[in-house]
Chain A
Amino acid sequence: MREDKKTPSVRKLRVRKSHIKTRLVLFLLLTAALMLTVIFAQQICPYDPNAQDTSISLQPPSLEHLAGTDRFGRDMFSRILVGLQTSVLSTLCLVVIITVAGTAAGILCGYYGGILDSVVMRISDVCLAFPGLVFALAIASLLGGGLHNAVFALAVISWPKYARIARSQTLSVKNTDYISAARLAGGNSIQIIIRHVLPNSIGPILVTSMLDIGTMLMELAGLSFLGLGAQPPTAELGNMMSGGRSMLQTYPWVIIGPGIAIFAAVVIFNLLGDTFRDYLDPRNSRRN
C-alpha cells in the first residue's frame, strides 16, 4: 500500500519539474523578444521619435499612428519603442552595477571580516536606514536631473541588499571543510574566493537580481516621472507618462501607451525571475 501511495508524489514532482522547464523556456523566449525589440528599437520604429509636427498633434490611435500622437505631433508608437529602450537598458545597467558592487563588497566583508567588515556594513546600514525611494529622491535632486544621476541614486540605495546576501552566503561557505582543503592546497585568498566562495554563493544573488529587474524598472520610471530621471526630449517611459498626465481624461492614449509598455516589461522580467527561482529551488529538483 505504501508503495502505491508513494508513486504519485514522485510523478507529481517530475511533472512539476518539467512544467517549470516549459515555463522557463516560454519566459526566456518572451524576454528574448522583448530584448530584441529593445536593442533594435531605433531600427524598427516607423517614425523619427523626436520629429515634431503640430498639425497632427494629439491624434487618436490609427493605422498610420498605432499608438496615436502626443501634443507635439510625435508618433507615440515610435516614442514608446525608444522609451522602452532607454528604460530597459538603463535598468539592466543599474542591476548589473548593484549586483557586481554589492556581491564584491559582501564577499570581501564576509571573507576577511574585521575592520573592513564593520566599516562597510555600517555604511550599508546608513543606506538602509532611510526609506528607499525617498533617499534616492534626495540623492537624485542633490545631483540634479539626468538618467545617469537617477541610476546612481538608485544604485546607492539598493547595493546593500546584495552585500548582505553575499556576506551571509560567504560566512556559511567560509567555514566548510572544502575551503580548509583549498587553503591546504596552497591557494591564496583571491584564488579561493574566485574558485570556491563565489560559485558556491552566487545562486541566491542571481535570483535576487533577476527578481529586482522589474522593481528597478518601476523605480527608475518613477524617478523620471517625478522629473529626476531622463530629461526631455529624451523618450523614456516615466517622463512620457509624466508629460501626458494632464491629458489622461481627454487624450488617454498619451499616458496609457507608455503605461502598458512599463507593465508588459515589468511582468515579463518578474515572471522570468520567479520561474528562474523555482527552477533553481532544490525542493523542485533532484540534482542528478
Chain B
Amino acid sequence: MEPILTADNLTKIFDEKGKEKFTAVDHISFQLYPGETLGIVGESGSGKSTLAKMISRLTDITEGNLFLCGKEITRVKGKALRRAYEDIQMVFQSPAASFDPRRTLGDGIGESLRNHGVSKVNVQKEAVRLLKECGLSPEFADRYPHEVSGGQCQRAAIARALAIRPKILICDEATSALDVTVQQQIMELLGRMREEREIACIFICHNLGLVQSFCDRLLVMYEGKIVEEGTPDEVIKNPRSDYTKELIEAVL
C-alpha cells in the first residue's frame, strides 16, 4: 500500500541570532498509511509539537523532505500549500485559543469551506451539520469561544478540522487541556470520526496510557529523535530504550 504521508529525515534547527543552535527535531523519518493511526509520544520539549507543525507546514522545515500522496510538499507555498491543506488538518492543544475570539464557532468551522467558494447559506448548513455530528446542538454555531467549555470548544475544533474532509488529521495534544472525563469523550469522538471517514491520524500525546488502545503504531520521541517504534503492545511489553522504560513506569 502507498503511504499517504512520508517524512524523510525531517530536521528542524532553530538558529536565532545571539542564541545557540538548537536541534528540535533530528532526522525523523516515518510513513503514514491510509486509515491508520500513528501515535507520537514523548515528554515536553521532545520535539513532538514542532514535528506536528512541520508536517502541517506551519513552521519551515530546515532539512529533509515531506511527501503527501507521493507529491513533495516540503517547501511549497501559496496555492500549492493551500491545496495541501485540503488533505491535512489539525486539532490544537488549547481549544479556546484556536478560535478567533471575535468570531463565532460557526464562522470558524465554515472558514475553510468559505475559502473554497461554498456559498454562505450552504456553509452555515454544513457547520450546523458538522456540529451535530460532533455532538453539539445547532445554537453553538452562534456562540463565541469564550462562551463555551473547553470540551465543547474542542468538539467544535474537531468539526472545523473535518469540514474540508481531509485525509490526514493531526491531533497535537488535543486532549491535554481537558479533564479526564471530557478527555474520554473527545477520544471517543475522534475514534468514531476516524472510523466513519477513514482518516489517517497522527496522534501526539505525552500520556502513554491514552494512546495504547487508540493507535495502530507508536513512535517514542526523546530529544528530537525517535528512540522506539512499533505497535503499542510491542513498545510497552518489550521496551528497548531506557527512556521508554521510564515512560512506562510513569504510567504505572
Segment at the interface with A among B24-32, B85-93, B211-219, B235-243: B85-93
Interchain CB contact under 8 A, B100 and A287: no
Count of A-B contacts judged by CB separation below 8 Å: 67
Interface residues of A in 155-213 (CB under 8 A from B): 176-178, 180-188, 191, 195-196, 199-200
Bound complex: CA A180 to CA B57 (Å): 10
The CA of A186 and the CA of B102, in the complex, are separated in Å by 19
B residues 107-132 near A (Cβ < 8 Å) are: 108, 111-112, 115-116
Kindly state the separation between the CA atoms of A60 and B180 in the bound complex, as whole angstroms: 82
CA A225 to CA B102, docked complex, whole Å: 45
B82 at the interface (CB under 8 A from A): yes
- Closest Cβ of chain A: how far from B228's Cβ, in Å? 29
Which residue of A176, A188, A191, A287 is within 8 Å of B78 (Cβ)? A188
> Does B115 lie within 8 Å of A186, measured CB to CB?
yes
B111 to chain A, nearest CB (A): 4
What A residues does B115 contact at CB under 8 A?
A: 185-187, 191
Contact of A180 among B92, B102, B112 (CB under 8 A): B92
CB distance from A224 to the nearest CB of B (A): 41
Contact (Cβ within 8 A) B82 A186? yes
Question: How far apart sit A165 and B86, CA to CA, in the bound complex (Å)?
Answer: 35
Determine which of A180, A183, A188, A200 lies in contact with B101 in the assembled complex, contact meaning CB atoms within 8 Å: A200
**Nearest-Cβ distance from residue B54 to partner chain A, whole angstroms:** 13
- Known contacts A185-B112, A186-B86: A180-B100 contact under CB 8 Å: no
- B61-91, CB under 8 A of A: which get 1 and which 0? 0000000000000000010001001101110
Q: Does B187 contact A (CB under 8 A)?
A: no
A181-B108, A183-B85, A185-B115 given. 10 additional CB < 8 A pairs? Answer: A177-B94, A178-B108, A182-B111, A184-B56, A184-B58, A185-B164, A199-B100, A199-B102, A200-B101, A287-B146
Interface residues of B (CB under 8 A from A): 53, 56, 58, 78, 82, 85-86, 88-90, 92-94, 97-103, 108, 111-112, 115-116, 146, 157, 160-161, 164
Report which A residues bind B (CB closer than 8 A): 176-178, 180-188, 191, 195-196, 199-200, 287
